[in-house]
Amino acid sequence: METKRFVGKVAIVTASTQGIGFGIAERLGSEGAAVVISSRKQKNVDEAVEKLKEKGIEVLGLVCHVSNKEHRKNLIQRTVQEYGKIDVVVSNAAANPTTGGILETPESVLDKLWEVNVKVGILILQEAAPHMSKGSSVVFISSIAGYHPQALLAMYGVTKTVLLGLTKALAAELAPDTRVNCVAPGFVPTHFADFLRRDEGIRTEIESKTLLKRLGTTQDMAAAVAFLASDDASYMTGETLVVAGGMPSRL
């Protein structure tokens, strides 16, 4: 990367050993940040750390199941022990354990969706906020589904809608020292959205609904996050940036 907006910065990216999370960590690290990545599985952490180190990126990899209180505490404590501060937190962890209508969703699934997609982001910030530097930045990863929850992904979409409001509320709470923004990705063919790679018909249909006639990439999302987390967006807080190829979101 020619741009080096994060030299001397420390960035935590949750759920970041593959897909959009890994792309974000790679972009921030390529621009000079020391990145702290995490995943539930040690094997995934080790593989991602190796890939980033091969690119000359300073990286700390930790096992972190975001629903585990001790894992969350360790994520923050180890980051502070290693680097002494936190400049960027990207809340990327998400779950979508089922498809179907909201009124058909079991309570246990509702609890998991709420916990992973919403509550965990708050709990991590409760741990991280005391260590965040002046001028720091938080970026939540929402979804285009937060604007238009689809029938089979309705409750997942609703949890992503919540992040839009959470971004507004936390921007006010953490101002003026920490900015809080959000990225709402469109459809990106990752392991999390494996149906986009398996079903050519669904892929083609979604592509036809975008003005740019293509799906998003992890690099598209990483570029948006890097912008919001950088000083280039120093007068932006409480905002959601939709990165969905022109799919309908709002006026």
Which positions are catalytic? 156
Instruction: Please compute, for residue 172, the number of CA atoms within 13 A of its CA located in the half-sphere on the CB side.
Output: 4
Alpha-carbon span 16 to 47, nearest angstrom: 11
Judged by DSSP in three states, 17 sits in coil
Alpha-carbon span 148 to 158, nearest angstrom: 9
- Contact indicator for 34, 53 with CB cutoff of 8 Å: no
Judged by DSSP in three states, 121 sits in helix
Alpha-carbon span 195 to 205, nearest angstrom: 12
In angstroms, the Cα distances linking 96 to 58, 115, 168 are 31, 11, 24
Pairing of strands 132-141, 178-185: parallel
Judged by DSSP in three states, 74 sits in helix
